[in-house]
Amino acid sequence: MENYNFFYVALGRISSSGLQAIFYIVFAFILTPEDYGNLSYLIAIAGVASIVSRFGLNHSVIVFQAKKDLSIVNQINLLALITTSVAAIILLPIDIFAAFLTLSSSIFLMYTHNLLGSKNYKQFVFWNMIKGSFIIIIPIIGYLFFEFEGILLGMAIAYFISSLRHFQNLSFGNDFIHKIKINFKIFIHNFGVDVSTNLVKFVDKLIIAPIAGFAILGIYQLNLQILIGLEIIPIALHSFLLSEESSGTKHLKTTIFVLLLSVVLVGLIIFLAPILIPEFFPEYQEGIESLQILVLSLIPLTISSILNAKLQAKNSTKVGFSAIVRIGSLIILLIILGSNFGLMGLSYAVLFSTILNTLFLMYVFKFLSK
- 368/370 Cα distance (integer angstroms): 5
Domain spans of the chain?
A: 2-369
Residues in the chain: 370
Residue 325 has pLDDT above 80, yes or no: yes
- 5/118 Cα distance (integer angstroms): 12
Contact 304, 357 (CB under 8 A): yes
Which string of DSSP letters, residue by residue, matches 84-153?
Answer: HHHHHHHHTTT-HHHHHHHHHHHHHHHHHHHHHHTT-HHHHHHHHHHHHHHHHHHHHHHHHHHTHHHHHH
User: What is the DSSP-derived secondary structure letter of residue 317?
Assistant: S
- 291/266 Cα distance (integer angstroms): 11
Tens digits of per-residue pLDDT, 254-294? 888 889 999 999 999 999 999 999 988 888 889 999 999 99
- In this prediction, residue 65 carries a pLDDT of 81
What residues contact 100, with CB distance under 8 A and at least 6 apart?
Answer: 88, 152, 153, 156, 160
Q: What region does 120 belong to: left with phi over 0, alpha with psi -120 to 50, or beta?
A: beta
How many C-beta atoms surround the C-beta of residue 50 within 10 A?
A: 27
- Looking from the CA of 348 toward its CB, the CA atoms found within 13 Å total 14
- In this prediction, residue 4 carries a pLDDT of 58
Q: Please compute the mean of the pLDDT values over residues 158-183 and round it to a whole number.
A: 75
Tens digits of per-residue pLDDT, 289-317? 999 999 999 999 999 988 888 887 777 76
Q: Please compute the mean of the pLDDT values over residues 120-133 and round it to a whole number.
A: 85
How many C-beta atoms surround the C-beta of residue 178 within 10 A?
A: 11
What residues contact 113, with CB distance under 8 A and at least 6 apart?
Answer: 58, 59, 61, 62, 239
Residues of the chain above pLDDT 70, percent: 91
Q: How confident is the model at residue 367 (pLDDT cuts 50, 70, 90)?
A: confident
Radius of gyration (C-alpha) of the chain in whole angstroms: 20
- In this prediction, residue 106 carries a pLDDT of 92
Q: How confident is the model at residue 369 (pLDDT cuts 50, 70, 90)?
A: low
Tens digits of per-residue pLDDT, 98-115? 999 999 999 998 998 888
- In this prediction, residue 25 carries a pLDDT of 83
> If you average pLDDT over every residue of the chain, what do you get?
85
- 99/57 Cα distance (integer angstroms): 19
Residue 124 has pLDDT above 70, yes or no: yes
- 253/255 Cα distance (integer angstroms): 5
pTM of the shown model: 0.74
Backbone angles phi, psi at 337, to 5 degrees: -75, -35
User: What is the DSSP-derived secondary structure letter of residue 175?
Assistant: T
- In this prediction, residue 370 carries a pLDDT of 62
Which of 316, 304, 269, 265 is closest to 290 using CA atoms?
269
- In this prediction, residue 323 carries a pLDDT of 77
- In this prediction, residue 171 carries a pLDDT of 66
Tens digits of per-residue pLDDT, 205-215? 889 988 888 88
Contact 316, 189 (CB under 8 A): yes
